[in-house]
Amino acid sequence: MSDIQITLPDGSARTLPTGATVRDLAASIGAGLAKAALAGKINGEAVDLTAPLSDADRVEIITEKSPEALELIRHTTSHLMAQAVQALFPETKVTIGPAVENGFYYDFDRDKPFTPDDLDAIETKMRELAAKAIPLVRQVLSKDDAIKLFTEMGESYKVEIIQALDVETVSLYRQGDFIDLCRGPHLPATSWCKAFKLTSLAGAYWRGDEKNRMLQRVYGTAFVDKKELEAYLARIEEAKRRDHRKLGRELDLFSFSDEVGAGFAIWHPKGAMLRTVIEDFERKEHLKRGYDIVVGPQILKTELWQRSGHYDNYRENMYFTQVDEQSYGVKPMNCLAHMMIYKSHLRSYRDLPLRFFELGTVHRHERAGVLHGLMRVRCFTQDDAHILCTPEQLDAEIKGVISFVSDVMSIFGFEFEMELSTRPEKSIGSDGDWEQATAALLAALQDSGRPYEINEGDGAFYGPKIDIKLRDCLDRRWQCATIQCDFTLPERFDLTYVDATGEKKRPVMVHRVILGSIERFIGVLIEHFAGNFPVWLSPVQACVLTVTDSQIPHAESVFAELRAAGVRVQKDFRNEKLGFKIREAQLQKIPYMLIVGDKEVENGTVTPRFRDGKNLDSLSATDFIRFITQEAERFH
């Protein structure tokens, strides 16, 4: 029997007997590595420790320190959960259970809903099974044999999955008496699942189709060790405390109503004021950068959406209506009206670039299952702009948008990451246009000096895009800004300009948003600041509080002076104890409480108290106005 040569990550070679596995390789390197090995990578592909090696393979051993370890742990823990569920509730059918960004889930078909007590029982059973160190054993069966096996087990969902596969064989994993259909790889044994927690329950339609049966999804998370798990769970608790839906109710910012319809936010006075502050800021910043403010209609003829490609590529997300027997589409985007504005005049190269900005309200049909407070709604406002420029101006315009995003995110205190999303499978436009657009975005990214990633196949249907994801205080990523480069729609709508030689040329269109959905951005802001907005953003900046009724006349004059100066101010002159009124103002996260007692009346002042309890020296109303105005201006 001849030997085989294996190449290790450092370039060194190792000789092993034919038939050796990844586990054998780890053992040949050292006992410590053999003990720590979780899986391997053969020529870049993750495999189990039992995978056989071939001559000239490049092999890497995966341990708990490897980047791939976390997904491996979470995937195996999802199988452990499914095993525990079927041990406790044998009538339950299993479907799929992948690892996801922050953990894992498994979808189950069971008539009786799981309860929080059931989750505790499942988790206890998982620990019991993990302690048994049950090996996970890979087995390859023919497609027909696998269908037969899962049919006999009554696992109809697995049968359906296998029947849809265009393969001759499939792989299964056995752990004790539990069998699951899976490509793998997996941990060697259940004992490697050492730090996990089941976190929540949700409903999920089979294959994501509302026409199919509703399943029960159990979410969980897993980490390499308990310390990492505890840190994550602490962040989850903090996220719950900061949940914008909870704070939105407590701060009286917005609400949702079943009577109105799912996915449609109702903005209360303070929430509407917060929106107004942000939108006014946006208008000011766009005007500074040479944008023209425009407004388009809410509905446009369906023929326009057909010409643009939205009807063929996006209509499942759109709403339609009839007016005078004419079909109209409710706009999910603002680009069509902006192109109509461009077409309203003959354009010269001297007119370009043109930058049309609109705080445009759009409607998109989102499935009920993905709606989530302000983060995912059916009606929202975008800070949308379309830049029409010559191909020679494109690089500078893209860089200008990146700079705009950087300036705005620094004002709000956010770091951000960028990725280039390339042509999706479902798209319009020529290969040449896509290559030119992608190259323009890539060049701007490279020149920016910022790190970026490539997100293959996730561009818009009409062009590639730069997606910008901000990081909040809990290190979560939120998609907000985007920059899309489009050669296709100007072609479809016959947009032209006259160049220096008098010849008609085609402009390029850049679609871009800075904050993105105003609704989503406000949701992110609420959670990032935990409702404690900086003074310039706070819908209420100060509240005037009286100690007794005798101070009301002076307090009224202070209130009126602040309001006339543009300070967003409330008053609380109720016949309640001062401590009670201070506590209520703190719960509403108002930055400043202005106390008015007998001393303040005598001196013609107020005593400011910050929401964290810090007291400031007494000031006149005029001096406080100057103080709070300067503080607000420091932030933007």
Place of tokens 């209520």: 584
Residue 195's beta-bridge partner residues?
223
Within 8 A by CB and 6+ apart from 305, the residues are 311, 315, 318, 329, 336
Do 189 and 133 contact (CB within 8 A), yes or no? yes
Reply yes or no on whether 386 is catalytic. yes
Reply yes or no on whether 310 is catalytic. no
Q: 259: which 2 tokens? A: 């009577």
Reply yes or no on whether 378 is catalytic. no
Of 86, 175, 382, 541, which residue is the catalytic one? 382
Of 125, 511, 571, 611, which residue is the catalytic one? 511
Q: 605: which 2 tokens? A: 């002042």
Determine the Cα–Cα distance for residues 343 and 54; give it in Å rounded to an integer: 64
Of 74, 197, 386, 589, which residue is the catalytic one? 386
Reply yes or no on whether 473 is catalytic. no
Q: Is 31 helix (H, G, I), strand (E, B) or coil?
A: helix
Residue/partner pairs of 313-316 with CB below 8 Å, 24 or more apart: 313/426, 313/427, 313/428, 313/461, 314/461, 316/365
Residue 299 has, within 13 A of its CA and on its CB side, a CA count of 12
Determine the Cα–Cα distance for residues 593 and 572; give it in Å rounded to an integer: 10
Alpha helices in 413-549 (DSSP H): 431-448, 488-492, 518-529
Reply yes or no on whether 382 is catalytic. yes
For residue 333, give the DSSP letter.
S
Of 338, 364, 571, 611, which residue is the catalytic one? 364
Reply yes or no on whether 636 is catalytic. no
Determine the Cα–Cα distance for residues 333 and 256; give it in Å rounded to an integer: 23
Of 182, 193, 335, 543, which residue is the catalytic one? 335
Do 397 and 353 contact (CB within 8 A), yes or no? yes
**143-175 CB burial, b ≥16 within 10 A, e <16:** eeebbebbeeeebebbbebbeeeeeeebbbbeb
Within 8 A by CB and 6+ apart from 187, the residues are 38, 39, 72, 73, 76, 136, 193
**104-142 CB burial, b ≥16 within 10 A, e <16:** bbbbbbeeeebeeebbebbbebbeebbeeebbbbbeebe
Of 384, 433, 486, 572, which residue is the catalytic one? 384
Of 286, 338, 465, 520, which residue is the catalytic one? 465
Reply yes or no on whether 193 is catalytic. no
Q: Is 180 helix (H, G, I), strand (E, B) or coil?
A: strand
Catalytic residues: 335, 364, 382, 384, 386, 465, 511
